[in-house]
A and B are shown apart, each in its own frame.
Chain A
Amino acid sequence: MRVSLIQHSPRLGDVGHNLGWTAECLAQEAALGQNLVVFPELNLCGYFLKDLVPETAIRLDGPELAQLARAAGSATAVVGAVLESRDHLFFNAAVVVGAEGVLHVHRKVYLPTYGMFDEQRYLAPGSALETVDLRLGEGESWRVGVLVCEDLWHPSAPYLMSRRGVDLIVCPSASPGRGIQGRDSELGTASIWSAMTTTYAALFTAFVAYCNRVGFEDGHYFWGGSQLHGPDGSLLSGPSDDQPGVQRAELDRGLLRWARIAYPLLRDERPDLLLRQLGEERSDV
């Protein structure tokens, strides 16, 4: 599978502008023969929206996703948007969309509300962690799970994806950079994301694609650093710098098979133990 990670800087609150740009970019990647084109979290509207959340929200059956479906060609896109439900709840969503329409929606489960983050003030949390099968033709199929940014900070999320048999975990992100302590150290946020994506790829023997945005919003620096890891944790491409750009890579299913043979962690996992112990979990811990 040929994957493109798109690092860009959306215009905050301007869905029309961002949609046009995204559709154009998607069409270009599709024309290059890319199968999966990943955009960062909330790339159709920007991240620190505050009261712009309802004003920038789109509907699953709205014209925006239809426009992206028309642009997709033979590719499938993962785009980020505020999604308004029929009963007017607003979700931080990653929508998987192809020429045939919307294939899957992941509503961010873990909404950070601490420090600089305020998502629960404006957004409703998702309540499902599901995967989607992407068929590439010639019998090749990939099981893809999407986790949006903070979701990945909760190991139960990639774990549950793993139990669903995920081949590739895609993580669109809008991670603001912070932590410059130490004369020679790298950005704190970059270190921890690199550690997380590497570790999850190795522990769950799955590909992990991390796509973070760039640019600034109200002084927050989005540091980019998009990267792709193989199912043994190895770095296949990236990390990118903090500039707009596209990272393209080809994922080989053979690598997945090899990793599952070499490191049979998925086979040896004991969900029964987990279930039993969680069932017995003491409430006074």
Chain B
Amino acid sequence: MSDLEINPTLACHILRLFIRDEVLKVGAKGVVLGVSGGIDSALAFTLAVQALGAEAVVGVALPYRQSSHESLADARDLARSLQAELAVVDITAQIDAYFSDRPTKDQNRRGNKMARERMSVLYDISQARSLLVLGTSNKSELLLGYGTLHGDMAHALNPLGDLYKTQVYQLAEHLQLPETLLRKRPSADLFEGQLDEDDLGFTYAQADLILYQMVDRRLPYDELAKLGYPEAIVSAVIERVRRNQFKRRPPLIAKLSARTIEIDFRYPRDWGC
């Protein structure tokens, strides 16, 4: 048995309860989420529909003119199979307007801007329709910092945040998500032809095993190097986890008073719920 193998029936059950419980107790009517045509958002979309019913879930595809047409088609097919709403909000106009007098060839900068534009649309729909924004960042992405701060990393609830990417696939297979999604290579779709694993320099299968030993089993760093993976990959994973810690924490506040938010003013998020 692989260290990363989990009970998919149990995991899906807990995640559906989590979505239902956290949505209903704050009085929201449901959830809204960005649906990219990738595996993570497809899984989150499916779990949300199973948890809340299709009428309480709004999927939103937010393509830019260079985004993959296949991804949009996959998002539409998925929404159809779930009998759930899929709104399509093209973000080309606002992105191009912004960069028209700030031209840049920096793909990451453009990609981050798009991710934040998508977040902005989702939060507007969230407010307009009393829905919580459902996140789709998995544990691998969060640990590696492979996401845009205040972009795809901004959401109210995240059912996938404690699942490594390879575990996302396990749940997706268990829920019999379409083959096209299961076979597709992961892409942030920030620009044409982009692939996560090219950006990262290693595969999720490699990273997940290293992350599991490092995070879940707390293996010392020098022991990680003995796992049989190239040292460069082990170092890159460790370094990414350290360097991206800031993305996983709220902003730092300079302490002045006796009681400072997030330092010694500590209340649960579900306060009163």
With A13-B271, A180-B6, A181-B3 already in contact, the answer to whether A51 and B22 are too (CB < 8 A) is: no
Which of B6, B22, B268 is the one whose CB lies under 8 Å from A182? B6
Min distance, Cβ A116 to any Cβ of chain B, angstroms: 12
Q: Which of B5, B8, B268 has the most CB of A within 10 A?
A: B268
What 1/0 flags go to B44-69 for Cβ under 8 Å of A?
00000000000000000000000000
14 CB contacts below 8 A, A to B, read: A12-B272, A14-B272, A48-B270, A51-B265, A52-B267, A180-B6, A180-B11, A182-B7, A183-B5, A183-B7, A185-B7, A186-B7, A215-B21, A216-B21
B residues less than 8 Å from A181 (CB atoms) = 3, 5-7
A residues less than 8 Å from B11 (CB atoms) = 180
What 1/0 flags go to B257-273 for Cβ under 8 Å of A?
00000000111111111
Contact, CB under 8 Å: B271 / A177: no
Contact, CB under 8 Å: B17 / A183: no
Smallest CB-CB A-B distances: 10 pairs: A50-B266, A216-B21, A180-B6, A51-B266, A12-B270, A218-B269, A180-B7, A218-B268, A48-B268, A180-B11
Complex Cα spacing A182 to B7, Å: 6
Min distance, Cβ A13 to any Cβ of chain B, angstroms: 5
What 1/0 flags go to A47-84 for Cβ under 8 Å of B?
01111100000000000000000000000000000000
Min distance, Cβ B272 to any Cβ of chain A, angstroms: 5
Within 8 Å of chain B (Cβ to Cβ): is A219?
A: yes
Q: How many residues of B contact A (CB 8 A)?
A: 22
Within 8 Å of chain B (Cβ to Cβ): is A217?
A: yes
Complex Cα spacing A48 to B6, Å: 26
Complex Cα spacing A242 to B6, Å: 19
| A-B interface contact total, Cβ < 8 Å | 66
Within 8 Å of chain B (Cβ to Cβ): is A284?
A: no
Contact, CB under 8 Å: A217 / B270: yes
Contact, CB under 8 Å: B14 / A184: no
What 1/0 flags go to B91-120 for Cβ under 8 Å of A?
000000000000000000000000000000
What 1/0 flags go to A3-31 for Cβ under 8 Å of B?
00000010111100000000000000000
B: which residues have CB within 8 A of A? 1, 3, 5-8, 10-11, 14, 17-18, 21-22, 265-273
Complex Cα spacing A155 to B8, Å: 34
Instruction: Name the residue on B nearest A243 (C-beta).
Output: B17
Within 8 Å of chain B (Cβ to Cβ): is A187?
A: yes
Contact, CB under 8 Å: A50 / B268: yes
Within 8 Å of chain B (Cβ to Cβ): is A221?
A: yes
A residues less than 8 Å from B18 (CB atoms) = 216, 219, 221
8 Å CB interface, A127-183 against B:
177, 180-183
B residues less than 8 Å from A51 (CB atoms) = 265-267
| Given contact pairs A51-B267, A183-B8, A185-B7, a sample of 19 additional A-B residue pairs in the complex whose CB atoms are under 8 Å apart | A9-B21, A12-B270, A50-B266, A50-B268, A51-B265, A52-B267, A52-B271, A180-B6, A180-B11, A181-B3, A181-B6, A183-B1, A183-B7, A186-B7, A187-B10, A216-B17, A216-B21, A216-B22, A219-B18
